[in-house]
Chain A
């Protein structure tokens, strides 16, 4: 590209001005504050800043006296065509016209894209780092390895202060921060986002799993409760029906047993009544109704009883007479015995005397006297044993009593017999035998009736018959009739009922358990939904973080590769050219230069040292010359055909006159194939210039 004209309107200290340039080396000369830097800024603003910018940074270049923003325009040749560029920052309009073809672009983006293409730099940063060499950059060269770093930055196309190794380190740190705490590293106190979201997902999945289990439990409990309720609904009537059937069966069985007992009792009672009625009839036959008629109010039975009583009394009297006769005979015998036993008393007395005499003799005379005592004792004992029980007198007295009693009894007997005969006569009974038969019948009747009366028995029989009828009626009732339950069937029903009742109880237990589960469950469907949504959000965030991680890794990988290849290729490309340029600048003093591939650090062969000299070993000016040579070589590598205008802002300040002249001569030759805009305040380079643009001296403060 060859810049031919640059016009400024209301631009900073330049105000309204127009500058003409040509191909080759253009020297823009002017004293301090003449506007050299402003002209550089005008050029860069025109070519790299969009006219519709909203940034306030560009307002500072507005002329103090101007009421509105500036406008800039330029004519230039590029790609074999003539171009005109205009940017009105006040009207926010831009225009790039291909004067050769008449084509014009006015869209800001399109204008900028086309300009970047024509310049071949892409951005102002790239232009600044590759096509511009400024005095302050050169002046910064100090430490031994700074040339390498500055050249690295030049090929990085990055703004000042930004290097690719720094960028790679930043990416590495960003990745480390993102991955902090991921295996195989230990869990740190401040885990990275990937670990945090991973842990969140684990927690949420666990909670969701718990909630799903709770939900399943609740669902299962609801199902079981419903099934239990349904089965209970079905079971309840069956239990009641079976229970009712069994109760009715039991009632029928009891009624049947009761009926059996009642029938048995009725039969027995009926027999008794029949028998008693037969016996009563018999008695009536025996005693007849005449008895009643003759005895008035006395019943036949009472008469019979009286007769029996009289007969008993007669028997007793007869018995007593016989007894008294007996006792009389005994008394007579006793009295006879009492007359025979009159010796007993004297014998006893004699025995007693003998005893006393014997004892006295034995005591005072001879022991043989004791024989007398013994003999006396025997006699006395015999006498005592055979003495009479009673006395004769008593017997006699007794006999008298007996005779009186006998007489009395014998006197009663006829009277009794007379009474009995009268009574028999009154009863119509022929004999006492008949009377006895009557008594026997009556006795049998009493035995039959027991303590009951015949009428009572009849009433009892009637009552029993009624009860039997009642039970029979009950057994015929609809709920008991046709209820044919044999014991086997009843047992079967009982077992069924027990099973059903146990099942009923079990189901009620289920009801309670499931109801408890439902009432105590903390399951919350809303919480489950929320957790699910949180999980989805966390998973989405995790996916985004993984994508970010992948993007970082990809950026790092490709950038590192681009950087390494750029270093390697550029090193190989510029190494011989740097040597040629440095040789020209130093007028042959240094003609061999190497560039390290890894650091881009140039190494110079020093004739004095007869070996390699690192930049730190060189003088300050030589380092600047080495750097300039490298930068010029780099522009040839970057733009082998058509390059943008090279902007040199007085980089030769520290060069001695010889090397400065040699460098200017070199630049003049260099500028044969590319335009150089050289800004300086000195006129010493005028002789090498193809065009000289002299900036006016600024007005003095006066």
Chain B
């Protein structure tokens, strides 16, 4: 029985730029490109006949030239390999096919043989040798089964409607639309994590990004290897393509006595491929002055990227035990009054910091640079 094997990826976001990655942003872009190349390599390693990218291959319509050239070279090599792997690209919400975009240039200059860019204007491509018809649609109602094809594959870059959770987006596809699409497989894109939204006999999957794109992405990057049997059976396998790993820590500052202890706790998750999202919480002991910048400076070289947010609060109740007639007592009282009169969280936060700083200075601690 003839079988079709394809590799499905999406949301690679090549050329992604974000201040969230700070000094690691350039390295992150390199990692994204490497992950994409691992997806390409996966096609050869797993003897796939088709490679589908369901939108947002690039992070913008005009990605860096060097990145675009490297992608084109990879796809050319894949499509002209032995055996050749057919490539189908679809535009997404970030890499729109528009005037001046890389896709428009590729259309003008000509794509490598075997590489197909689908669009609203040209939404379908047939591969007679594979018995496959691939259709791209922004509106799932426009997916039409090709009766002559053995396998029908749809591509949609959008959100699956989840009532109450996801009701609106640039492109919305409902479960009914998936169920009635007539496709054997719907290659979804737009969401950065794996998701199975199959309905009835129609298998519809989000592969997720092949590498971590944002700091809040908890799962490792992956692609999908999908097998379609002629008897209608669709099976898939999740293949890890990402290297970056997400880690999370929440530190209650009431449990720590020094910045060093906090740093050591953070370093428990250290690794060159680790993205650590750490949050300082709890009530800060009076004898602990925390400067997140200082802690970051001590540990950040041990991570691919660390984001440290400080949601801790000073212990206001502590003021009650101090004589009001002394400077510290009066200082606390004035700060308390300002805190209560503050009109924004930002102002309150500054008052907390000023209070902690003042008390630390009154306690004779060297907390100023």
**Interface set of A (CB-CB < 8 Å, partner B):** 54, 109, 113, 116-117, 119-123, 125-126, 130, 155-159, 161-162, 164, 167, 170-171, 173-174, 177, 219, 222-223, 226, 229, 524-526, 529-530, 532-533, 536-537, 540, 544, 547, 550-552, 554-555, 558-559, 561-563, 565-566, 569-570, 573, 637-639
Contacts and interface: CB of A to CB of B under 8 A. Distances in A.
B323 A170 contact: no
7 smallest CB-CB distances across A and B, nearest first, come from A122-B322, A536-B19, A525-B64, A116-B321, A159-B364, A562-B331, A554-B354
A393 B319 CA distance: 185
Contacts of A177: 369
B178 interface: no
Contacts of A552: 354, 357
B19 A529 contact: no
Given A537-B19, A550-B350, A638-B323, 10 more contacts: A109-B254, A117-B320, A157-B322, A524-B64, A529-B17, A530-B25, A537-B22, A558-B331, A559-B331, A562-B331
Contacts of B318: 113, 116, 122
B29 A562 contact: no
A573 to B, nearest CB: 8
B114 interface: no
Interface of B: 15, 17-19, 21-23, 25-26, 29, 62-67, 99-100, 105, 108, 254, 257, 285-286, 293, 317-318, 320-323, 325-331, 333-335, 338, 350-351, 353-355, 357-358, 361-364, 368-369
B29 A219 contact: no
Contacts of B18: 533
B202 to A, nearest CB: 39
B326 A155 contact: yes
Contact of B257 (A54, A155, A156, A529): A54
B257 A540 contact: no
A223 B100 contact: yes
Contact of A533 (B21, B333, B355, B369): B21
A525 B67 CA distance: 10
B362 A119 contact: no
Contacts of B254: 109
B181 to A, nearest CB: 36
B129 to A, nearest CB: 32
Contacts of B331: 558-559, 562
Nearest to B255: A109
Given A117-B320, A529-B64, A566-B325, A125 B364 contact: yes
A161 B366 CA distance: 13
A537 B305 CA distance: 14
A156 B100 CA distance: 68
B286 to A, nearest CB: 8
Given A126-B323, A158-B364, A558 B328 contact: no
B303 to A, nearest CB: 16
A424 B350 CA distance: 152
A158 B326 CA distance: 10
Contacts of A122: 318, 321-323, 328-329
Given A554-B351, A563-B327, A569-B325, A156 B368 contact: no
A158 to B, nearest CB: 5
B323 A120 contact: yes
13 contacts: A155-B327, A156-B328, A164-B327, A164-B362, A167-B361, A229-B108, A526-B26, A529-B17, A529-B26, A532-B19, A533-B21, A558-B334, A558-B338
A1 to B, nearest CB: 12
B285 A109 contact: yes
Nearest to B353: A551
A173 B369 CA distance: 10
Interface of A is mostly: helix
Nearest to A565: B330
B164 to A, nearest CB: 35
Contacts of A54: 257
A219 B62 CA distance: 9
A536 B20 CA distance: 9
Contacts of B65: 525
Given A554-B354, A558-B338, A638 B325 contact: yes
B324 to A, nearest CB: 8
B325 A113 contact: no
Nearest to B368: A174
A223 B22 CA distance: 33
A226 B108 contact: yes
Contacts of A566: 325-327, 330
A220 to B, nearest CB: 9
Contacts of A559: 327, 331, 358, 361-362
A224 to B, nearest CB: 11
A60 to B, nearest CB: 19
Nearest to A175: B368
Contact of A113 (B62, B100, B317, B353): B317
Given A122-B318, A551-B350, A526 B66 contact: yes
A491 B357 CA distance: 90
Contacts of B105: 222, 226
B13 to A, nearest CB: 12
A126 B326 contact: yes
Contacts of A551: 350, 353-354, 357
Contacts of B62: 219, 525
Which of A164, A177, A562 gathers most chain B CB within 10 Å?
A562
A116 B66 CA distance: 65
A551 B293 CA distance: 15
Nearest to B17: A529
Contacts of A570: 325
A569 B324 CA distance: 11
Contacts of B15: 525, 529
A121 B323 contact: yes
